[in-house]
A and B are shown apart, each in its own frame.
Chain A
C-alpha cells in the first residue's frame, strides 16, 4: 500500500466574538447578544412549552420523571466532572429523599408543601452524613462505596421489614393540580441547571475544580478539602433527594424500588450521552433517553439492556457526548486547509 501524505487538515478557529469570553461586550450588538442568549432561550422555552404540546396525563407524567432524572444527572455531572467524586449511587439520594417525604407525609401528616422542602434538606443532610466517612476516598473506591450504599439500605429495609418492608409506604398524598405538579419540577430543573452553572464559575466552583485536579494544592492553599467536598455532596444529594421526594408524591407511593438500579444507571447514561462537564448535556440526555425508555416499557427489563448498550457505545466511540460536540460546532469555524 502506497503511503499517502495528508494534504489537507481541518483547521478549527474560535469565533471572533468577544461575548464568548467577557460579559460586557455582549451588549455591543444585537447579533452578539442573540449569539449568547438564543441557545439558552431555546432550551428554557423548549422545556416550558413541552407539556403544552403533549397535554395528556401520561406524557405529563413522563416529563415529570424526565425532570427527576435530570436533577439526578445534574448532581452526577456536578460531582463527577467538577469535584472529581464519581458517585454511582444516584438511587441512594432518590431513595432517602423518597422515603423521607413518604414518612413525613404518612406518619406525621404533613402536606407536600412542607414534606418536599424538609425531605430535600433532611435527605441531603442524611446522605451527606452517611457519605462523610467515604469522602477521603478517590476515584474507583468512592464509586464502589456509593454503589454499595443503596444496595445496603435496600437490604436493610427488606431484612428489618421497616417502613412497610417490601410493599413500601402506600397512600402518600399526591398533588392537587396536574399543572402545578408539572411546572414546579420544570422550574426546579431550570433553576438547578442555571444555579449550578453559576456556582461552578464562582470562586467556590474554582475550588471544586481545584479539588478535582489536584487536591494537595487546595490543601496547600489553606482550604479544607473535606469541607468543600461535603458542600458539593450536600448540593448533589439535595438535588437527588428533591427528585426522590417529588417521585414519592407523584406516584403516591414509596418503596424499595426507589433504591433500584435505574436511578443509578440512567443519570450516568444521560451524562455520557449528553456530554459530561457541560451540565446542560445531562439534562438533554435525560430528555432523549427517558422518553425512549418509556416506549420500551412494554419490553420490561430490556430497557436496562438498551441503556447499557447506549452507554457502552458512547463511552467507547463518542466519549465527549452530544453537547460538547454541539458546543464545538457552535463556537468554532471549521475549514479544510492545505498542509
Chain B
C-alpha cells in the first residue's frame, strides 16, 4: 500500500490525514472484503488472496497489451476469469482438505506462494507493468489535491460495500450464504448445498480480490510484493474486525487505514506494515474474537 500514499508522506496536514485516511481505509476495505467473505462463510482462510489480486493485475495488463482489447472489455474479462479460477481452486484443491484447518491454510498458502514466486521468476517485477488510470486529472477537496482515480476507489468502495450488504440481506443466494456462515448444519438441513455455497463464496471472493486490484493497481506498478502486502492487510482487517461481521470488517478497515496514515504522518512510512502486523498480533492476544465479533468465534479461537 506504500504506493497509494507514499508520495504524499512529507506534506501531511490534518486535512490530508482525514482525506487520505478515508481513501486508504476504502482501499483496505476493498482488499479485505473478498477475504472476509470467504472466511466468514465457508471458514476457508484463503491465503491465496494476495496472489489472486496480483494475477488480476497481470491478466488485465496482458489482455490490454497483448490482445489489444479495450480497457473496459479487459476488466470484465479478467474478473470473469478470476471467478472461474476461484471456483476451480475450491473444486479441485480445497474440497479435498475441507475441515482440516491447518491443511487449508497450508494448501492455500502454498498455492499463493507458488503463483507469486512463479510470476517473480518470470520477471514480473519493477516498473515495467502498469495499468492506466480510468480518468486522468485531479480535484481539489478542502485544499488537498486528490486525483480522480482515488475518488473512483472511494466510489467503488461504497458501491461494493452497499452491494454486498444488499446481496447478503435480500438475495436468496446471499441469504443462503449467510445461513451457511451462521450455522452450517441447520443450513444443510434446509437444503443448502455446502460445497456449492463454498464454490460461490470462493468465486465471489476472487472476483472481489480482482476488483480491488483493478481499481487500486492503476495507482502504482504491478509488483509481486503487493500480493504479500494485500494478504497481510486483508488478514489484519478480517481479524481486527472479527469474523463474519461486515460492520466490524469495515470499521476495522477504517481503524487500520487511519492508523497507517497517522503513522506515515508522524512516525515514518516504513512502519506502515508494522502497524498492520501489530494490529493483528495485539487483537488476537487482547480480544481474540475481534473488536466486533460475536461469542461464537471466541470459542473457536481460544
Contact = CB atoms under 8 A, between A and B. Distances in A.
Contacts of B97: 315-316, 319
Interface in A128-148: 133-134, 136-141, 143-145, 148
B107 A316 contact: yes
28 contacts: A134-B284, A134-B285, A137-B284, A137-B288, A138-B300, A138-B302, A139-B101, A140-B101, A140-B102, A141-B288, A144-B235, A148-B280, A149-B281, A152-B274, A155-B270, A261-B113, A265-B113, A299-B121, A301-B120, A304-B113, A307-B110, A308-B114, A311-B110, A312-B93, A312-B110, A315-B106, A315-B110, A316-B107
Interface string A157-200: 01100000000000000000000000000000000000000000
A44 interface: no
Contacts of B274: 152, 155-156, 159
B110 A136 contact: no
Nearest to B104: A140
B2 to A, nearest CB: 12
Contacts of B278: 152
Classify chain A: how many residues form its interface, as a range: 35 or more
A3 interface: no
B64 interface: no
Contacts of A151: 232, 273, 277
Nearest to B235: A144
Contact of B103 (A133, A145, A319): A319
A300 interface: yes
A144 to B, nearest CB: 6
A305 interface: yes
A308 B111 contact: yes
Contact of A312 (B114, B270, B277): B114
Interface centre among B102, B118, B274 (most CB of A within 10 A): B102
B271 interface: yes
A152 B239 CA distance: 16
Interface in B75-128: 93, 96-97, 101-103, 105-107, 109-111, 113-114, 117-118, 120-121
